[in-house]
């Protein structure tokens, strides 16, 4: 690669926020919902948004350039194939996730300040939003997570498992995948009350509610229900520091019967914390949004599990957010 090409590649990375900000602003203004039923001109959208004509038309043109809208005879519409993904009302919508990224924008803008001063960040949890916003966010996570949940569960031997606990189980997407793969198994889903209400709805739609016990609580302050032979901790440890994870693992240890297995799904980093790239970037997200969260190497996860009493930690699968670590409660 020539020097000119190297410089162009570096500058392209520096401009990477342009496209993201365009998309987040469109979501925040609800542009896609306004174009859901029929094409509209920039002038029509200005009236509905009470927005500036120049700004609105420039934004719409940029969404065309991104490939999300089509412009014909001065009118804009959603590009064919993106209607459900960009529709506020569709179950498949990704708009809540885009809005979530918009909420992270301000925190990321303080990265330099945080790196220099070590300022403690406040947790930016989805549960801080309005109830409808929370429901939409969890619904988007459910839709996006279904494929990964099936893949993760396919890597687990559930043939002799009878009772799983899904810690911080969210919408139940992993509980659903596990129960589908193991018809003999029952599950407990533990999460905060608003979340378990949503999980009840999703589990009911899947016809699995009779095989699940829903328990509301906060795993930071409450004990977990016991009597399980399998525990899943999915996409949680990155929001904690090491001490918080050890405390969580101890609660999971107590929730498992002797010989029971814990499965952790999260980023698992290389020893030098530079790979995979998605995990290194996600550590920045935790830096700006949590007091002590990060992404961890297998050795770090294993040490914390052993500190909580578990034995024989294993790296079952290394990927990105679908990496899997297992450990066993001694018999």
Q: Could you tell me the CATH number of the domain that includes residue 37? A: 1.10.10.10
The pLDDT of residue 120: 58
Domain shared by 15 and 148, yes or no: no
Which of these three, 34, 68, 85, is where a domain ends?
85
Distance CA 60, CA 39 (A): 12
The pLDDT of residue 124: 43
For residues 165 and 190, the answer to whether their CB atoms sit within 8 Å is yes
Domain shared by 71 and 132, yes or no: no
Task: For the beta carbon of residue 118, count every other beta carbon within 10 angstroms.
Answer: 8
Low-confidence ranges of the chain (pLDDT < 50): 123-128
Distance CA 182, CA 324 (A): 19
The pLDDT of residue 121: 60
State the residue range of the domain holding 7: 3-85
The pLDDT of residue 142: 87
For residues 329 and 303, the answer to whether their CB atoms sit within 8 Å is no
Which of these three, 85, 109, 134, is where a domain ends?
85
The pLDDT of residue 190: 98
Domain shared by 35 and 143, yes or no: no
The pLDDT of residue 307: 98
Phi (first) and psi of residue 308, to 5 degrees = -90, 0
The pLDDT of residue 242: 98
Q: Is the dihedral of CA 284, 147, 209, 129 positive or negative?
A: positive
Cα distances (Å, whole numbers) of residue 213 to 127, 129, 210, 260: 22, 26, 8, 19
The 10s digit of each residue's pLDDT in 114-152 is: 999 886 565 444 444 566 667 777 887 888 899 999 999
Domain shared by 133 and 273, yes or no: yes
The verdict on residue 115 lying in a domain is no
Domain shared by 209 and 288, yes or no: yes
The pLDDT of residue 220: 96
Q: Could you tell me the CATH number of the domain that includes residue 220? A: 3.40.50.150
Distance CA 166, CA 219 (A): 11
């Amino acid at each position: 690669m020539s020097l000119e090409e190297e410089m162009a590649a570096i500058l392209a990375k520096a401009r990477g926020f342009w496209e993201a900000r365009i998309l987040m602003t469109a979501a925040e203004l609800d542009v896609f919902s306004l174009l859901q039923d029929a094409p509209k001109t920039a002038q029509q959208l200005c009236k509905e948004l009470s927005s500036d004509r120049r700004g609105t038309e420039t934004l719409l043109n940029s969404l065309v350039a991104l490939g999300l809208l089509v412009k014909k005879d001065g009118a804009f519409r959603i590009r064919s194939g993106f209607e459900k993904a960009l529709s506020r009302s569709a179950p498949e919508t990704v708009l809540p996730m885009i809005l979530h990224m918009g909420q992270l924008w301000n925190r990321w803008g303080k990265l330099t300040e945080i790196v220099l001063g070590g300022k403690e960040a406040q947790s930016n949890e989805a549960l801080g939003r309005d109830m409808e916003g929370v429901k939409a966010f969890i619904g988007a996570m459910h839709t996006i997570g279904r494929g990964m949940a099936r893949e993760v569960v396919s890597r687990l031997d559930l043939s002799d498992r009878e009772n799983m606990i899904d810690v911080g189980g969210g919408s139940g997407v992993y509980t659903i995948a596990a129960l589908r793969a193991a018809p003999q198994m029952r599950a407990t889903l533990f999460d905060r009350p608003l979340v378990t209400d949503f999980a009840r709805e999703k589990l009911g739609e899947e016809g699995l509610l009779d095989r699940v016990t829903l328990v509301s609580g906060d795993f930071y302050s409450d004990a977990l229900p016991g009597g399980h032979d399998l525990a899943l901790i999915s996409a949680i440890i990155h929001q904690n520091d090491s001490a918080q994870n050890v405390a969580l693992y101890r609660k999971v240890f107590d929730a498992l019967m002797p010989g029971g297995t814990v499965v952790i799904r999260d980023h698992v980093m290389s020893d030098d914390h530079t790979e995979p790239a998605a995990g290194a970037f996600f550590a920045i997200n935790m830096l700006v949004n949590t007091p002590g969260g990060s992404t961890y190497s297998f050795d770090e996860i294993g040490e914390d599990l052993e500190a909580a009493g578990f034995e024989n930690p294993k790296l079952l699968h290394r990927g990105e957010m679908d990496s899997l670590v297992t450990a066993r409660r001694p018999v």
